[in-house]
Structure 1
Amino acid sequence: MNLGKKLLEVRENAKISRAQMVELLKERGFDVKTYTISKWETGVSKPTIEAFLAICDICRVTDIRQAFVGKRLLCLYDIPVSAGRGNYLDSSSYEMIEVDNTVPSLADYAVRVSGNSMMPRFVDQQIIFIHEQPSLEEGEIGIFCLNNNTYLKKLGKGYLISLNPEYDPIPILEHDEFKVFGKVVG
């Protein structure tokens, strides 16, 4: 990783000139000059950790590891989500996996598919990425918990629907325990 090049990239992505960066850093108590910024960005010298964190804040870098190292880690839960009969998603059993920029930035975690009820779009053992959210719109595909069974399904009006026509819709009854874990984003 070349810190200087990443600092330049982050600053340019934020559409902040070197002169503007100097002023913004001065507002935060850092006495720097334009040539100082240039030295940092060309790798001649490095900012202090305090100045580095201030630059990240100014440029609105929220995930420092991803922005500067290029690595992003997500939880991949060990127990698969069912695209069939339903499995319980154990939130304490997972491994951390490194993902690249092909995984949508909205993804909060990953699960493995178990079964074939969501074929042809999702296949057995495929890893899918989920954006954690408490509700979905009708027609969206997500991860749902119905009476302690976790499903990968499409949300219908009062039903969880499989994409594979061999499977009947699963009714969501008034007395059922029902929760949305999130939306499939990749």
Structure 2
Amino acid sequence: MTTNENIGKVLKYYRKLNKLSMDEVTQKLAEHNIHLSNKTVYGWENNQNPPSADKFLLLCDIYKISDINHSFLNKDNKRLKLSSDEVLLLEHYRNMPEMQSAVRKILNMPEPKSV
């Protein structure tokens, strides 16, 4: 895995978004037979040492990151900055397709074109 300074920042952001302490993260990792200390998680979040690919993917699962590419990079290799409230709104929007048309009407947005 190549080092990317955004990885630590984004991991920390999603850990906090999910209201998880470092202890809780290490406990969840231990449930998958990955035993490590809070110091290791701290190191990941501060770009001292990135997690291995398998640990990274497991963290994405724990943090409910479904679109890894979008969550960590955009075209300019920079993370799109969304508030935690915006992330929550997007998650609810995606999980309620029956409401999407109404939301689009309220926001004066056109319906998406069928592909």
Asked if TM exceeds 0.5, the reply is: yes
TM-score (ref. length: structure 2): 0.63
Alignment partner for residue 47 of structure 1, among 31, 42, 51? 51
Say if 2:48 is the partner of 1:31. no
The residue aligned with 1:142 is 111
Amino acid at match of 1:46: P
Say if 2:69 is the partner of 1:65. yes
Within-5 A mapping of 1:69-88: 69=73, 71=74
Q: Structure 2: how far apart are the matches of 1:7 and 1:45?
A: 13
Aligned-pair CA distance for 1:17: 0.5
Aligned-pair CA distance for 1:101: 7.0
Aligned-pair CA distance for 1:142: 2.9
Amino acid at match of 1:26: A
Q: Structure 2: how far apart are the matches of 1:39 and 1:8?
A: 11
Within-5 A mapping of 1:156-171: none
Q: Structure 2: how far apart are the matches of 1:61 and 1:30?
A: 19
Unaligned runs of 5+ in 2: 83-89
Aligned-pair CA distance for 1:29: 1.6
Q: Structure 2: how far apart are the matches of 1:21 and 1:31?
A: 11
The residue aligned with 2:26 is 22
3-state DSSP of counterpart to 2:33: coil
Moved >4 Å (runs of 4+): none
Q: Choose between structure 1 and 2 for higher RCO, CA contacts under 8 A separated by at least 6 residues.
A: 2
Relative to total residues, which structure has the larger strand share, 1 or 2? 1
What fraction of aligned residue pairs are identical, expressed as a percent?
A: 23
Provide Cα deviations, 1:131-185, integer angstroms capped at 9, x if missing partner. x98xx67xx55367xxxxxxxxxxxxxxxxxxxxxxxxxxxxxxxxxxxx39xxx
Q: How many residues align?
A: 90
Relative to total residues, which structure has the larger helix share, 1 or 2? 2
Q: CA RMSD in A?
A: 3.3
TM-score (ref. length: structure 1): 0.41
Unaligned runs of 5+ in 1: 73-99, 108-131, 145-180
Amino acid at match of 2:68: I
Rg (Cα) greater in structure: 1
* Pair 1:12–1:143, CA change in 2 (3 A): closer
